[in-house]
Amino acid sequence: MDPVVLARTRAGLAHGEQTLQPAFHALLAEANRALDARPPSVMDKTKIPPSGDRHDFMSQAPYFWPDTNSPGRYVHRDGERNPEAGRDFDAGRLGMVCANVQTLALAFYFTGDEKYAGKAAEFLRVWFLDPATRMNPNLNFGQGIPGEVEGRPEGLISARGMVGMMDALGLLAESKSWTTADQQAMTTWLRQYFDWLTTNEIALGEGRARNNHGTFYDTQVAAIALFLGKTNVARELLLKDREDRIASQIEPDGRQPRELARTLSFDYSLFNLRALVDLASIGQNAGVDLWHYQTADGRSILKALEFLAPYADPAKQWPYRQIHKPNRGGLGRLLLRAAAIYPNSDLGTALKFFPAEELAADPSRLAFATVPVSGTRQTSVK
């Protein structure tokens, strides 16, 4: 998140800034739903990880299905989710924890109401800290394939929500509900997880991935490194990402070939671009400008955004393979942020294809610079 925008938003809300109200009310609606949610735990699953310890995170590869021609074996069907992978595993639960903690922390920061911080603290304690329910700080058994492999590097994608959770931990620092002891215990957990993340072969395998998996891995490493005070580690990684992610993943015309090769080519192009935008936002807070990095032949985040932006128009057909309806709403949310970074581009004009009321109610407007919802090329909302 952008700390300058956060502070200005809080001041604006305190003075009744009307342009912020739709996003603020949407955030509070999400936060109030989270107040009624039961915090999940890795102990909720009945399946036992290969280690025999239910405190270990466990998930199943979503695109692998039982092979009807060879019982006991699984085959890959890219883009087609096996419902079996969504039952009694930890991936969805961890995502829920990270999302709810971020929402609740923002609601606390903007309102000062301890009920939101208290609920965020409850989610954090149950998932990460309480001895009876805590997750062990590793993802050794993520995206396993039954009968073939216990865990794969791809499993780390389920922890991408930890990036936003690092922001949440900072916002909770003002709360009486999240104590110094809680923060110290969470820091210890994150140090252990960071050590696993940067030394374990499964984790390093995710870092070597040349597609969205590798990009999201880098967002985790950079964000957690900054939280732990390892600023030099984060900066070195972000500087490497100019070549390792931007130059190697984006073509001069903005295409992302590794994502276009997927059966959900629009969604995965957008997914990787979202990770690149997150990296650029992290870099913005670490003194590394990825937003405006460009190779000699024109590869850049802006170029990738400009490639996707025309397809905000539902009448413009996506020319690559996409086996399900494309996620155009996700493109709108990304353009809302990116157009503020590139005020001299035409990105903002694509926002006319999205309902203005939906853009106005996007909670990201509270934490990032965004363009006015009219979509015209103007200075960013503060």
User: pLDDT, tens digit, for every residue of 248-276?
Assistant: 999 999 999 999 999 999 999 999 999 99
Residue pLDDT, tens place only, 26-70? 999 999 999 999 999 999 999 999 999 999 999 999 999 999 999
- Show the tokens assigned to 201: 């072969």
Residue pLDDT, tens place only, 84-99? 999 999 999 999 999 9
- 373: pLDDT confidence band, cut at 50, 70 and 90? confident
pLDDT at 381 (0 to 100): 36
Do residues 331 and 270 make contact, with C-beta atoms less than 8 angstroms apart?
Answer: yes
The share of the chain scoring above pLDDT 90, in percent, equals: 97
Q: What is the mean pLDDT of residues 152-174?
A: 97
Q: What is the mean pLDDT of residues 375-379?
A: 35
Do residues 152 and 143 make contact, with C-beta atoms less than 8 angstroms apart?
Answer: yes
pLDDT at 332 (0 to 100): 96
Q: What is the mean pLDDT of residues 193-211?
A: 98
Q: Using alpha carbons only, what angle is made at residue 84 by residues 81 and 85, rounded to the nearest 5 degrees?
A: 65
Do residues 92 and 86 make contact, with C-beta atoms less than 8 angstroms apart?
Answer: yes
For the whole model, what pTM was predicted? 0.96
Hey, CA dihedral for 368, 371, 373, 375, is it positive or negative? negative
Output the CA–CA distances (angstroms, integers) from residue 150 to 50, 60, 80, 83, 146, in the order listed: 7, 9, 21, 19, 7
Q: Is residue 7 scored above 60 in pLDDT? A: yes
